[in-house]
Amino acid sequence: MVTRINLLSPEILARKKIRKQVIISMSLVCVVFVIMISFYIHKCHVFAEKKEDLRIKRKELSALQQEIREVERLEAKKAKLEERKGVLEQLVFDRQRLTRILDEMCSCVPFGLWLQSITPKGNQLSISGTAFDNFCIANYMVSLSNSDMFGEVELLSITDGSIFEHPVKRFQLDCDVIQGVSQTQGG
């Protein structure tokens, strides 16, 4: 067994102890500092990734907003085209319907009666014409009433007149046009 004898003075031993504590403390501070710097670098890296992510998302958002504007423009164009299509379909329907109405009106005209004007007024037609007698006018009104295209027929006026010195009756009447008549009925 070996005996150790310490010939150093207690001050030197205290200094060595303090030096050892300072080195340990400094090492600990350096380790903490390195950990903090590592954490800072890591956070900077995460921040840079998030910033790049944000830039990419904003770019995607901008592209999507352009696509949304394009879709909205196309939807508005589609709505406008559908509106035009509806107007054209209505015009075709009305044209065919008016043709049927005029055809039906002409087929109801008896011998001895002439139509002079037909004026649409909403869902009614104002008809003026000339006839040889009241019987022709009454016959025309009954024919219109019996038609599936016309509703109520109302006589507004009958006046006496003459054509080449022949007595005639001038008349004015209104008749309702039935809206539900399709262009496929009767023709």
Average pLDDT for 62-66: 94
Q: Predicted confidence band at 38 (pLDDT cuts at 50, 70, 90)?
A: very high
Least confident span in 67-71, 156-160, 168-172, 181-185: 181-185
Task: For residue range 105-125, list pLDDT tens digits in order.
Answer: 888 899 999 999 998 887 889
Domain 110-187 architecture: 2-Layer Sandwich (3.30)
Contact call for residues 127 and 118 (beta carbons, < 8 A) = yes
Tokens of 140: 């025309």
- The pTM for the full model equals 0.51
Calculate the alpha carbon distances from 6 to 17, 21, 90 in Å.
14, 20, 119
Average pLDDT for 25-39: 94
Report domain extents, the chain: 11-108, 110-187
Q: Is the pLDDT of residue 158 over 80?
A: yes
